[in-house]
Structure 1
Amino acid sequence: MRISIAMATYNGSPYIQQQLKSLAAQTVLPYELVVTDDGSTDETLAIVEAFAVHAPFPVHIHRNTRRLNFADNFLHAASLCKGDWIAFCDQDDVWLKDKLEHVSGEAHGDVSMIVHRVQIVDADLQPIPGAAIACHVRRGPGPQRLPPMGYFSGLCITFNAALLGLLLQHPRFPDANNPAYEAAHDRWVSTIADTVGRVCFINKPLVLYRQHGANACGATTGSLGMAIGRSGAPGSSTYQQAAMLAQNYSDCFEMLAASAAGTPWQARLQAGAQRYRATRDYLAARSVLYGTSEFSGRMWAWAKMCLKWSYRFNPVRAPLLAVAKDLRTVLFKTV
């Protein structure tokens, strides 16, 4: 099995040397390292070129002709990989030496994406107490094991290269944090991989995730990728916006299903579109609950969601916790 590493670089000279050394120290070496540079003005490329001379695997360096920014740069790097599996790699982290050994042991069957825990560290690689990133993966076989709109950070992700035909399509659904932009590479890959195959979670930190104050995306405590409800107590408009986002997910999966006509993935992509339509309906129902002033209206909205068990589509918290939160709102909301 061949694992390619896709590294997107931009002005990474302060830390990239340590990351490259950690790749060369892997107990299972990668098939290749593909680096796509987005116009660095520091010593990043010189460091990578010097590493390539003595690296124990092929290193392919590509200079982008125009700025792509980090999400499209990572997908561009992935598109140039020739391996059977592709691991995203940030320029400023450090891989533990057995990362690819653990990953390669899980790359079989219907697995579409392999993810793992990380250790969050400071600029000097010292652990940061209390900091963590995580995304829940349900137990059991089969696809759709991540919560709706849930995703893993790119530094955790190794995915089956067979997915590239889907992943390189446009447009991507909007980013949950800023709908003016397309979804980042990790949100996109996580969502599609979870829909068409099985996500394998390795419950062990395999990367030191460095926080140095200039990260393109920093670590947060708690659940990763759950943008809905982060800004405090959500109201009706919050759920309306989230319902619109879920509709965008559904539309995108309909597009992907049409492009995959005649393939084994078509039915799963159509199921993904249906799942996000159900997520849209659930979030719209919560919008009604939080926008209704009368007790009877709130109770009826809550009861319908319980009867349909729509809470299984909650993108933020466990279903029973969402049930309890809404019941409290039904009983004690003041207008």
Structure 2
Amino acid sequence: MREDVRFSIAMCTYNGEKYLGEQLESIARQQQLPAELVLCDDCSSDATVSIAERFAVESPFPVRIIRNPKNLGYRGNFAQAIELCTGELIALCDQDDVWYPQKLKKLKELFLSNPSAAGVFSNGDLIDSSSRLLGKDLWGSFQFDTFDQMNFRSGQAVGVLLKRNVVTGMAFAIRSSSKNELLAMPSSWNHDAWLALMLAAHARLIACPEHLVGYRVHGNQQIGVPISLKEKCSYILSHGISGYIQLSRDRNQKEYRENALQFDALQVCLEKLGISSDDHLLIEAHAKAEHAHRGGALLSLSRLRRLPTVLGHLRSYKKYSPTGLNAAFRDLVL
């Protein structure tokens, strides 16, 4: 890859007037400026587009603003923005976070020094609605711990991603040659999770531990970090233990349903592409889907009736549940 490689930014907006200005300013302060910003707005009804247009007038790089004639939704809008990018490298960007000045420079360095890498994602800080540090990091919120980071770097990235997605779009960049991976993306998947798994399975994905972004935690974001201990305690005080157990059961059943839908769709996708039945990803997708279907069905049973199934599938919990064996205990007590 040439030293003069061009970086595009694929940004999606929807009613993001509250934080968009700060995000755009953080992009303008990059040590490595992008060659272009492609901003696709999904029918905002607030001042989002006006803010973007004002920024474009004085921006130190070209800004293309696309106003969708109809709402495409989060997944479709990002797929469109990525496709419209012309640079050799593409950084994904949300409307409500903050990029640290060294972000694009560091990502470019990693791509240049790792020619086989199809994608790079970084760690980041969690920030609140006023951009104050919360004292926690992005990877920690997903329980992407030292052990999983080591496995990820040693060639076991697919196994880590089968447990849960640890690649957040706003901290993710890809080579433009990876665009085609989105063509087969099922509607049940988010663009960042799909790209991460496909690149890990078919190419190489690099995990950068440096904190390159501030990930904003607030009530309106599309995909937030998992519920905190403080939030759990607050809910228990307001609704009691039984109320919290019911909330947890409903939330975990929903997660199981979503995982089952995603990995069923992945299997269909791989089979349509003519992937061999002994392909590693196809085998793992089938096993993950089975685990999700089984978990969702278990939580509809009485606790006593769950026991034999949970104990008989501890290996599956360890391999496919984000919290490992803790999820087995959870499924027994919820």
Pair in the same fold by TM > 0.5:
yes
Could you report, residue by residue, the CA deviation over 1:206-239 in whole angstroms, capped at 9, with x for unpaired residues?
A: 11122343333333357xxxxxx99536999789
What is the CA-CA distance between 1:293 and the residue it aligns to?
8.7
- Counterpart code for 2:130: D
Find out whether 1:188 has 2:194 as its counterpart. Answer: yes
Aligned twin of 1:165: 180
Q: Secondary structure at the match of 1:219?
A: coil
Report the aligned-residue RMSD.
3.7
What is the CA-CA distance between 1:198 and the residue it aligns to?
2.3
Aligned twin of 1:276: 285
Unaligned runs of 5+ in 1: 175-182, 223-228, 259-265
1:144-293 paired onto structure 2 within 5 Å: 144-148=158-162, 150-151=164-165, 152-169=167-184, 171-172=186-187, 174=188, 183-221=189-227, 232=248, 241=257, 242-243=259-260, 245-255=262-272, 257-258=273-274, 270-283=279-292
2:10–2:91 Cα contact (<8 Å) kept:
yes
CA distance 1:95–1:240, change in 2 (3 Å):
closer
**Identical positions, percent:** 27
Q: Secondary structure at the match of 1:277?
A: helix
* More helix by percentage: 2
- Counterpart code for 1:44: T
Q: Within 2, Cα distance between the matches of 1:240 and 1:36?
A: 32
CA distance 1:119–1:131, change in 2 (3 Å):
closer
1:22–1:95 Cα contact (<8 Å) kept:
yes
CA distance 1:145–1:26, change in 2 (3 Å):
farther
1:23-42 paired onto structure 2 within 5 Å: 23-42=27-46
Q: Within 2, Cα distance between the matches of 1:32 and 1:110?
A: 24
2:264–2:285 Cα contact (<8 Å) kept:
yes
2:126–2:136 Cα contact (<8 Å) kept:
no
CA distance 1:230–1:55, change in 2 (3 Å):
farther
- Counterpart code for 1:204: E
What is the CA-CA distance between 1:287 and the residue it aligns to?
7.5
1:239–1:284 Cα contact (<8 Å) kept:
no
1:289–1:298 Cα contact (<8 Å) kept:
no
- Counterpart code for 1:232: S
CA distance 1:283–1:48, change in 2 (3 Å):
closer
Q: What is the number of equivalent residue pairs in this alignment? A: 301
- What's the TM-score, normalizing by structure 2? 0.74
